[in-house]
Structure 1
Amino acid sequence: MEMLITLLLIGGMAALRVIAISKIEFQTSESRVVTCPKCGRKIRRGNFAPYCNHCNVTF
């Protein structure tokens, strides 16, 4: 009985850790996306300044 409770607690902690890690990864990927002020398209920000091919705007 104690073994079952222990395994359930360990499984719950592992699941919460996986959820937390996935949330952190989602937040970092969202911070790499910028919205063009002119047309509203989402542009992935790389090592250089964001550039919209549609509007020819660097911001």
Structure 2
Amino acid sequence: MNQWKEFWNEEDGVGVVEIVLILAVLVALVLIFKKQVKALVDEAFKKIGEDKKSIIS
């Protein structure tokens, strides 16, 4: 019975579980908003390309 209480009170794995849950939420958000994220990244790279052309010319 003491081993069960020690196991229950041990908190070493809590950090790992929290990180896995946060990653799962982030992946779910990316999957849900995939189109919006892609449009945002494409727009950012388009502006970077335009700024690069204006600096070179």
The TM-score range, normalised by the shorter chain, is 0.3 to 0.5
Q: Which has the larger Rg?
A: 2
Q: Give the structure with the larger strand fraction.
A: 1
Q: Give the structure with the larger helix fraction.
A: 2
TM-score normalised to the size of structure 2? Answer: 0.42
Q: Which has the higher contact order (CA 8 A, sep 6+)?
A: 1
TM-score normalised to the size of structure 1? Answer: 0.41
